[in-house]
Amino acid sequence: MTLPEMKYPLSRDQLLDLYYFMKLTRELDEQLVRLFRQNKVVGGLYSSIGQEASAVGTAYTLEKRDWIAPMIRNVGGLLVKGFRPRDILMQYMARSGAPTGGKDGTSHFGDLQDRHVVSPISMLGDLIPVMTGVAMGGRYLGQKIVTMTWIGDGGTSTGAFHEGMNLAAAQHAPFVCVVENNQWAYSTPVARQVPLKNLADRARAYGIPGYVVDGNDVIAVYQATKEAVELARRGEGPVLVESKTMRMKGHAQHDPAGYVPPEMFEYWKARDPLALYEKWLTENKVWDKKAKDEIEARIERELKEDIEIAEASPLPNAEEAERGVYCEGCHTIEAHWERPIAEVQPPKASVQPVWTVPDFGALNNARGSAPAAAASAPDDGARAEAHSNSSAKSAPAGSGAPKRPARAEARPKGRR
Render pLDDT for 291-303 as a digit per residue (tens, 0 to 9): 999 999 999 999 9
Determine contact, residues 55/150, Cβ cutoff 8 Å. yes
Lowest mean pLDDT among 30-34, 96-100, 120-124, 349-353: 349-353
Render pLDDT for 396-410 as a digit per residue (tens, 0 to 9): 433 333 343 333 333
Ordered DSSP codes for 103-132: S-SSS---BTTTT-BPPP-SSTTTHHHHHH
Asked if the structure places residue 408 within a domain, the reply is no
Examine the residue annotation and report whether 186 is marked as an active-site residue of this protein: no
Q: What is the arithmetic mean of pLDDT over 212-240?
A: 98
- The distance of Cα 51 from the centroid of its chain, to the nearest Å, equals 11
Asked if the structure places residue 345 within a domain, the reply is no
Check whether 170 has a pLDDT greater than 80: yes
Q: What percent of the chain has pLDDT over 70?
A: 88
Q: What is the arithmetic mean of pLDDT over 111-126?
A: 93
Band the pLDDT of 308: cuts 50, 70, 90: very high
Point out the catalytic residue in the list 95, 202, 204, 247. 247
pTM for this one?
A: 0.85
Examine the residue annotation and report whether 202 is marked as an active-site residue of this protein: no
Q: What is the arithmetic mean of pLDDT over 150-176?
A: 97
Q: Say how far apart CA 381 and CA 358 lie, in whole Å.
A: 21
Check whether 2 has a pLDDT greater than 90: no
Q: What is residue 332's predicted lDDT score, i.e. its pLDDT?
A: 77
| H helix count then E strand count, the chain | 12, 8
Band the pLDDT of 321: cuts 50, 70, 90: confident
Band the pLDDT of 244: cuts 50, 70, 90: very high
- In order of 65, 67, 174, 331, 333, the CA distances from 113 in angstroms are 11, 11, 20, 10, 10
Check whether 411 has a pLDDT greater than 90: no
Q: What is the arithmetic mean of pLDDT over 251-265?
A: 93
Q: What is residue 389's predicted lDDT score, i.e. its pLDDT?
A: 40
Asked if the structure places residue 30 within a domain, the reply is yes
Query: 273-283 and 218-233 are packed helices; what angle lies between their axes, rounded to 10 degrees?
Result: 90
Q: What is residue 365's predicted lDDT score, i.e. its pLDDT?
A: 60
Number of neighbouring beta carbons within 10 Å of residue 213: 31
Number of domains making up the chain:
1
Q: Say how far apart CA 173 and CA 165 lie, in whole Å.
A: 10
More confident residue, 78 or 332: 78
The CATH number that applies at residue 248 is 3.40.50.970
Q: What percent of the chain has pLDDT over 90?
A: 73
The phi, psi pair for 22, rounded to 5°, reads: -65, -45
Asked if the structure places residue 371 within a domain, the reply is no
Asked if the structure places residue 136 within a domain, the reply is yes
Asked if the structure places residue 29 within a domain, the reply is yes
Examine the residue annotation and report whether 172 is marked as an active-site residue of this protein: no
Asked if the structure places residue 366 within a domain, the reply is no
Point out the catalytic residue in the list 12, 162, 251, 271. 251
Point out the catalytic residue in the list 192, 259, 267, 407. 259
Q: What residue numbers bound the domain in which 255 lies?
A: 12-322
Q: What is the arithmetic mean of pLDDT over 249-259?
A: 91
Asked if the structure places residue 384 within a domain, the reply is no
Q: Say how far apart CA 25 and CA 28 lie, in whole Å.
A: 5
